[in-house]
Chain A
Amino acid sequence: MAAAAKRSARQEPPQIVKGLRRTGRALAVPARSVLLAFVVGAVIVAVTGGDPFKAYQALACGGFGLFCFGGEPSVLQLANTLVVVTPLIMAGIAVALPFRAGMFNIGAEGQLIMGAIAATTVGIHFAGWPAFVLLPFVLLAGALGGAVWGGIVGVLKAVTGAHEVVTTIMLNFVAQWFLRFLIIGGPLQLPGGSSKSSPIGTSAQLATLVPHNNQLFLGLPGAVYRAHTGLFVALAAAAVFAFLLWRTSLGYEIRAVGQSQRAARYGGISVRKTLVTSMLIAGAFAGLAGAVQIAGVDHNLTDQYFTDTTGFDAIAVALLGLNSAVGIILSAILFGALHAGGSVMQSDAGVSGNLVYVLQALILFSIAANFLRGFKLRLPSPGRVPETPAADAMASAVAQEADIELAGDDKDTA
């Protein structure tokens, strides 16, 4: 749609106004959801004896480095947010792309873990290689690991019709327990009994944005700033995602399958192949997120991946971002800021950091409520379940009602 709008904007100037209006309308739903969440969140804080203004001020400080009245280092807060934002963008794409094809990928977490495992394995094994070879190799391995994990889902869906929601959830467990096996008594465990792997080689690591040493940067040693160049990998991923979706034949087909499998089939598009392809690509984006997390921040697999929720937060990111590249970046920043700001809120305002999860849930909830109408149309039934005549009758009844609204539109173009 973005490309289309741009195209028309160049041709017919008045379309710009229309395009802006359309963008405004598209933004209205997410904006309302966020606003609603913050209002309800404020009420909850107030009712439980906290000061909502102070809480949000601390949250803004912790998330964006804004309104830091307590002398907190703003840039450090911002850097911490970027650390969270980076994998969220890529995992958000991993949810959004299958969504465009009409599938609900709950498995970004499992795909991310598999990516992290593959990246770590490569990063340890080939630690002696020079960075310009090893680093791309590590990221590629991560993408492949995730792609395999997503591809399994796609193949199962295409061949047996197994619903992706079930298979992705199950594969999340498999990935988590596989990781547990690897680093607790398994082949990747760091000798010495701790539940983590050995670190990857230094040439497999992504550089940090601020030189990682003891030189002072804005009054603090450079080593405390963890934000890393993986951010650029994430932004590039978003650009690739947008290009793939709007400028390639494959993107055209993915969107067609998501909109109407019948029309896609009519157009000679193989629905099964498209579903498998989009899950493969989605898995690759999630795996890349895992690889970047390992190469940029963690440098080894640890037990914190057992409780990691990036792949689930990514669902919120994709939904709030309306499954578009720019939207995903914006909502990843929002959710990243919330997560990073939670601890500051807890210490500065004395409000439990769990409020962040309440806010996230509220945002998701109100989006889901808004989504309900489109949901039926967006998510086609899995596989090729024949429509029953009764469902047909219902559908046409609904369509008829809808025609009442459409009658208006029909006329101004007739």
Chain B
Amino acid sequence: MTDQVNPERLAVEMRGIVKIFPGVVANDHVDLIVRQGEIHALVGENGAGKSTLMNILYGLIHADAGEILIEGKPAPMQGPRDAIRQGIGMVHQHFMLIPVFTVGENVVLGSEPVRPGGFYDYARARTAIAALTRQYGLALDPDARVEDLPVGLQQRVEIVKVLYRGARILILDEPTGVLTPQESLELFRVLRGLVQRGKTIIFISHKLKEVLEISDRITVMRRGKVVGHLITKDTDEQEIARLMVGRDVLLRVEKTPAKPGPIALRVENLYANSDQGVPALRGVSFELRQGEILGIAGVEGNGQSELVEALAGTRRSSGGRVFLADHEVSNLTAATIRLAGVSHIPEDRRGAGLVLNYSVADNLILGRQRTPIFAWDGLVLRLKAIFNWAQRLIKEFDIRTPSSTTPARTLSGGNQQKIIVAREMATQPRVLLAAQPTRGVDIGAIEFIHRRLIAERDGGAAILLVSAELDEVRSLSDRIAVMYEGRIVSIEPPDAPEERLGLLMTGGGSGDRRKAG
């Protein structure tokens, strides 16, 4: 039951799309041409207008000008309903699934098959899903509860859901952001299978490697405009990056070998529970020296977040000990640990790292609002000192903001992250806990943050780097600790092959389990 594919026919034509938000042109006469049966990558930095364009295509927002043709026919999109009727399906970056429902129930949600009398037709739903999964080679148990599935399979549920609604054109928004390397490869296999069976895929991503691997054609956006239509086999990473950023970008991190100094942080057999009260850390031990970067690799949810929080003092440990140099700091308050010279770039930028409604300046003193530099006797804020501090950091860390009184909420993700990085680095910490320091940040800011991390290292800071991006861990770290199920299963050199790390991250491989050191 393969759809008719004619590579000359166009699946999607968006022509001259204009969308103006108050004060800014989000889409400036954007053209997007997607051929039938291809994987078309849409790349660009945050705020380049990709999401706006896709939301217009999916009917979530209305364009101010321009036209949309689906398979050659004009298709005005009044809302997602129209888009679905036209055969467009969207797989969001954050899954829209109900965790306690089964796979089957999630897939049919919103268009449930109904038996006479208004009852949910369980049998018919099952057969429909079984048929779909067989047809596209997407192994899935319709009776499994979604919350029990790994992230990769949850994503597959999302894909089956849009297929069930009859989608011929699938939009995937940053689909690999939450996946392990293995899961990403599996996703690519699925996507290729879908394309072979006549589907068309629009793939939004900022990971250039992936884009080169999976796509047929690429549309590059920058500041609301399309700056390049590329054919994947005729281009390379450097060219795409240059188009995205508008200048040449250093994709490789340049660094000299580390010169490790004395031990700055020692963790002995650390235990801690997750928010749900289940053990998340089960005996983590390692040593971190001044002047080195220890990278933590691992699939998200294997205790990395809890480790960083336990070290920063925002989560209580239930066992084990933590030493800063020779002083035990186990379970001291976050404020004390910070004063002792530990900085923390939290993984949840918008939730924890910033008070979004606070101004840039106020955010730049978060955690230090009672220190004598910013408050007389720790009581009354020294507005002048705070203002000067903000001016200095805005300049030094190149935070692009209209003023220091602008609310952090209105800045781009990259600039928000720069506020945190500036705040945490400007006090010359002895230990820097950097969790996902470049998540959701554009290439230019990534380059900047990477350079600052290396500079901090060279300045003698001990850096613990946690990142879901294996490439980032490998390029920045001097040693890589792989975490799996709350333990460090192995410490590897930075040039360890990706396959080996991937295997260790998923519990396989022969981690030599030697103690960190």
Asked if residues A267 and B366 are in contact (CB atoms below 8 Å), the reply is yes
B367 interface hit (Cβ, 8 Å): yes
User: Chain A contacts of B442 at CB under 8 A?
Assistant: 414
By the criterion CB–CB under 8 Å, are A413 and B411 in contact? yes
Question: Does A268 reach chain B (CB closer than 8 Å)?
Answer: yes
**B358→A259 contact, CB < 8 A:** yes
Q: Is A397 positioned at the interface, with any CB of B under 8 Å from its CB?
A: yes
Query: Is residue A4 contacting chain B, with contact meaning CB distance below 8 A?
Result: yes
Given contacts A7-B383, A390-B100, contact A268 B334 (CB under 8 A): yes
A10 to chain B, nearest CB (A): 10
Q: Which residues of chain A in 30-75 are interfacial with respect to chain B, using CB atoms and an 8 Å cutoff?
A: none
Q: A249-B369, A249-B381, A400-B94 are in contact. Are A263 and B411 (CB under 8 A)?
A: no
Residue of B47, B93, B336, B400 with most partner-chain A CB within 10 A: B47
CB atoms of A4 and B405 under 8 A apart: yes
Which residues from A are CB-within-8-Å of B248?
A: none
Are B353's CB and A266's CB within 8 A?
yes
Question: Please, how many angstroms separate the alpha-carbon atoms of A252 and B359 in the complex?
Answer: 12
Within the assembled complex, what's the spacing in Å between the Cα atoms of A404 and B27?
12
> Once the chains are docked, how many angstroms separate the CA of A15 from the CA of B404?
12
User: Which residues of chain A come closer than 8 Å to B52, judged between CB atoms?
Assistant: 404, 407
**A411 beta carbon closer than 8 Å to chain B:** yes
B residues less than 8 Å from A248 (CB atoms): 375, 379-381
Interface of A is mostly: helix
For residue A208, CB closer than 8 A to chain B, the reply is: no
A contact residues around B276 at 8 Å (CB): 386
Q: Are B405 and A256 in contact (CB under 8 A)?
A: no
Q: Are B412 and A411 in contact (CB under 8 A)?
A: yes
- Contact between B313 and A268, CB atoms less than 8 A apart: yes
**B47 pairs with A7, CB closer than 8 A:** no
Q: A393 to B98: give the CA distance in the assembly, Å.
A: 8
| Docked pose: A324 CA to B224 CA in angstroms | 39
C-beta contact mask, A300-337 vs B, less than 8 Å → 1, else 0?
00000000000000000000000000000000000000
Flag whether B250 is at the interface (Cβ < 8 A).
no
B123 sits at the interface (CB 8 A) = no
CB contact list, A239-262 vs B, under 8 A: 247-253, 255-256, 259-260, 262
Which of the candidate stretches B107-115, B211-219, B343-351, B455-463 sits at the interface with the other chain?
B343-351
User: How near does chain B come to A395, taking the closest CB pair, in angstroms?
Assistant: 9
Partner of B60, one of A8, A260, A267, A404: A404
A3 at the interface (CB under 8 A from B): yes
A264-295: which residues lie under 8 A (CB-CB) from chain B? Answer: 264-270
* Interface presence of A13 (CB below 8 A): no
What's the nearest-Cβ distance from chain B to residue A167, in Å? 26
Q: Is B415 an interface residue (CB 8 A)?
A: yes
Partner of B414, one of A4, A269, A409, A414: A414
A5 interfacial contact with B, CB 8 Å: yes
Report the minimal beta-carbon distance from B469 to chain A, rounded to whole angstroms: 20
* B24 and A409 contacting across the interface, CB-CB below 8 Å: yes
Known: A249-B370, A413-B401. A260 touches B351 (CB 8 A): yes
Contact of B358 with A8 in the complex, beta carbons under 8 Å: no
Total interface residues on A, CB under 8 Å, equals 49
Given known contacts A268-B333, A407-B21, A414-B400, A263 and B351 CB-to-CB distance under 8 angstroms: yes
Docked Cα-Cα span, A268 to B309, in Å, equals 12
Asked if residues A262 and B351 are in contact (CB atoms below 8 Å), the reply is yes
Contact of A407 among B26, B147, B406, B414 (CB under 8 A): B26
Contact B24 A411 (CB under 8 A): yes
Residue in A closest to B405 when the chains form the complex, CB atoms: A8
Q: Does B118 contact A (CB under 8 A)?
A: no
Chain A residues, Cβ within 8 Å of B1: none
Asked whether, in the complex, the Cβ of B275 is within 8 Å of the Cβ of A386, the reply is: yes
Is B357 part of the contact surface with A, judged by Cβ < 8 Å? yes
Contact with A along B350-370 (1 / 0, CB 8 A): 011111111101100111011
**A396 close to chain B: CB less than 8 A:** yes
State whether the Cβ of A408 lies closer than 8 Å to any Cβ in chain B.
yes
Picked from A7, A247, A412, A413, the residue with its CB within 8 Å of the CB of B387 is A7
Q: Which residue of B lies closest to A247 (CB)?
A: B381
Q: Which residue of A lies closest to B344 (CB)?
A: A266
The answer to whether the Cβ of B303 comes within 8 Å of any Cβ in the partner chain is no
Residue contact A393 to B224, C-beta cutoff 8 Å: no
Is the pair B47, A411 in contact by a Cβ cutoff of 8 Å? Answer: yes
CA distance A406 to B24 in the complex (A): 11
Chain B minimum-CB-distance residue to A3:
B383
Contacting residues, chain B, for A409 (C-beta < 8 A): 21, 23-24, 409-411
**One of A259, A263, A406, A413 near B353 (C-beta < 8 A):** A263
In whole angstroms, how far apart are the Cα atoms of A273 and B362 in the complex? 21
Complex: how many Å from CA A249 to CA B412? 27
Is B139 positioned at the interface, with any CB of A under 8 Å from its CB?
no
Let me know if A192 is at the binding interface, CB within 8 A: no
Contact A403 B51, beta carbon cutoff 8 Å: yes
Shortest CB-to-CB span from B223 to chain A, Å, is 7
Collect the chain B residues with CB atoms within 8 Å of residue A251's CB: 381
Inter-chain CA distance A9–B23, complex, in Å, is 22
Report chain B residues within 8 Å CB of A269.
335, 369
Residues of the B chain whose Cβ atoms lie less than 8 Å from the Cβ of A414: 45-47, 223, 400, 412, 414-415, 442
| B196 surroundings in chain A (CB, below 8 A) | none
A401 surroundings in chain B (CB, below 8 A): 60
Asked if residues B99 and A389 are in contact (CB atoms below 8 Å), the reply is yes
Can you list 9 A-B contacts with CB-CB less than 8 angstroms, sorted by A residue number? A256-B366, A260-B351, A263-B366, A267-B367, A393-B99, A401-B60, A408-B24, A413-B411, A414-B46
User: B-side interface residues toward A, CB under 8 Å?
Assistant: 21-24, 26, 45-47, 49, 51-52, 55, 60-61, 92-100, 147, 223-224, 275-276, 312-314, 333-336, 338, 344, 346, 348, 351-359, 361-362, 365-367, 369-370, 374-375, 378-381, 383, 387, 400-406, 409-415, 442
Query: 20 extra interchain contacts, Cβ-Cβ under 8 A, other than A249-B375, A259-B357?
Result: A4-B362, A249-B379, A249-B380, A259-B358, A262-B351, A263-B353, A266-B334, A266-B344, A269-B335, A393-B98, A397-B94, A404-B51, A406-B410, A407-B21, A409-B410, A411-B24, A413-B400, A413-B415, A414-B46, A414-B442
Interface residues of A (CB under 8 A from B): 3-5, 7-8, 11-12, 15, 247-253, 255-256, 259-260, 262-270, 386-387, 389-390, 393, 396-397, 400-401, 403-414
